[in-house]
Amino acid sequence: MLNLLIATTLGETIMANIGYARVSTEGQELTAQLEQLKGAGVDKIFKEKASGVKQDRPQLAAMLDHLREGDTVIVCKLDRIARSTKHLLEIVETLEARKVSFKVLNINLDTSTPTGKLMLSMLAAIGQFEREMMLERQREGIELAKQAGKYKGRKATARDKSAEVQELLKQGMTKQAVADTLKIGVASVYRIARASTK
């Protein structure tokens, strides 16, 4: 922490370990996660008390805004940062684009190592498999609904809302506010914003 303070004072760029801790309900405590993160040598911790299904995670958005190239995000478990494999991969994609590493303490995942990258690619493969299975079930459901005359079309996805995301960002809204307004994940907003600057 002292090195970080000295480097900041001197105007140098220094890599930082950034922790993220989350509990799902107000009754749960962050103490155990905070102790593990401090033991892992984090310089700053973002603390969240939010449900796994809700889109609004202001501290996750704040952490993503805070990150700089070379930083490492550290969590105790995968389910503390992501709601699903798909959500996890969105977050990791955002981190990789920012050149930020990712560590998960309970499974020794570290994307700065070859083993960590392999583990991540396996997770990505699982995520793709889950998505293909979901799409197959969806197609079957749509076919049955069409036969019964009950098909109403699909709901808009985050990708479908990319023009709205870009417009709201141009108006000066924060990424978290855009996510809340459009009812999409904040990681999706970051991905759309990044794609629009390419």
Give catalytic status of residue 121 as yes or no: no
| 8 A C-beta contact, residue 179 and residue 60 | no
Listed in sequence order, the DSSP H helices in the chain are 2-9, 31-39, 58-66, 78-81, 85-97, 114-147, 162-170, 175-182, 186-196
Token pair listed for 43:
């310089």
Interstrand relation of 101-104 and 72-75 (parallel, antiparallel or unpaired) = parallel
Contact present, 190 and 169 (Cβ < 8 Å): no
58 close to 176: Cβ distance less than 8 angstroms: yes
Alpha-carbon torsion (113, 186, 55, 127), positive or negative: negative
The end-to-end CA distance of the chain, in Å, is 35
Tokens of 184: 């999409």
What values do phi and psi take at 142, rounded to 5?
A: -65, -45
From 24, 51, 84, 101, the catalytic residue: 24
Q: Which residues are catalytic?
A: 24
